[in-house]
Amino acid sequence: MDIIATPPFDRLWRGEDPFRWIETAGGEHFRELPDRRTTRLEVEGEVFFAKVHRGVGVGETLRSLASLRLPVFDARAEVEAIARLREAGVDVPEVVAWGVDEAPAHRRRSFVVTRDVGTQRTLADVASELPPDARGERRAWTRALGRAVGAMHGAGVNHRDCYLVHVLCPEQEPGAPPRPVLVDLHRAQIRSAVPQRWRAKDLGGLAFSAMDAKLTRTDLFRFVQAYAGGSAADALRAEPSLWRAVEARRIGLLSERTRRGERFGR
């Protein structure tokens, strides 16, 4: 079993099984799925989030492989993605502890504990709350998100669950620029460079989840400009196939979610 822990968990877990400690520590269960649970923990006056992976099972492993998809076996992908993004200057939660046991992949247990970023308010919440005349704030968030996603892809990371609900929005001092924090990176992939296909999937997910955010055409150009780090016109001319794929992804998600009766970006 490989365990890495920083204060206060290195001390609290001395002589303890971290998996058992997390499972019995109480706290508020934020998300409960068959293969993982996310719990909010208060430890020595600080707030942390513990995500425990319980193994995907043989059936899900075979189904994923049959669909040419590699299952998420443990927390390692999220830990490595967070480390890569922090090096690139992208705001992500701080990992304070993580571990993985030595079981076979399909029943391997693992966990990652991150420090609370101070809010659970997402960019989807912000977008729905902004009045139509809040152009300056909408413009600032659009640019900040474009820079963050551009830096993520530039660092060789694609998210695979890239929606506004997976961007947290901590409170900032008056006049300070927005600081989007990218979260839920357990499905992230890391390469030397992100292929266009996976960039389009991330960007198309964002475009879909922003459909009820009251964005103007100019706002979309601002996002492209911030994402590409140059003029929007140059970016659109340089990679027309990327932006066509982004729009196709948005339309595909809209059709799929409409059939299911689900909300945009949820």
Kindly report, residue by residue over 103-120, the tens digit of the pLDDT. Answer: 766 678 899 999 999 999
Which residues neighbour 210 within 8 Å (Cβ) at sequence distance 6 or greater? 127, 164, 264, 265
Mean pLDDT of 170-196: 93
Domain-ending residue, one of 61, 83, 115:
115
The number of angstroms, rounded, from the C-alpha of 12 to the middle of its chain's C-alpha atoms is: 28
pLDDT at position 68: 47
pLDDT at position 266: 45
Residue 165 DSSP symbol: G
| 173 in the same domain as 244 | yes
For strand 181-182 and strand 167-168, is the pairing parallel, antiparallel, or unpaired? antiparallel
Q: Has 161 been annotated as catalytic? A: yes
Domain of residue 178, residue span: 123-260
When divided into structural domains, the chain yields a total of: 2
- The 10s digit of each residue's pLDDT in 118-138 is 999 999 999 999 888 888 999
Active-site position among 17, 101, 125, 161? 161
Question: Within 13 Å, how many C-alpha atoms sit on residue 71's CB side?
Answer: 22
Q: With cut-offs at 50, 70 and 90, classify the pLDDT of residue 258.
A: confident
Mean pLDDT of 19-27: 89
CATH code for the domain in which residue 242 is found: 1.10.510.10
pLDDT at 88 over 90: yes
Q: Does 94 map to a domain?
A: yes
Q: Does 265 map to a domain?
A: no
- The 10s digit of each residue's pLDDT in 140-174 is 999 999 999 999 999 999 999 999 999 999 998 88
Domain-ending residue, one of 54, 80, 115:
115
Alpha-carbon gap, residue 207 to 264, rounded angstroms: 10
| 218 in the same domain as 151 | yes
CATH code for the domain in which residue 11 is found: 3.30.200.20
| 255 in the same domain as 133 | yes
| 51 in the same domain as 140 | no
| 237 in the same domain as 136 | yes
| 163 in the same domain as 70 | no
| 97 in the same domain as 204 | no
Closest CA to 264 of 201, 206, 209, 205: 209
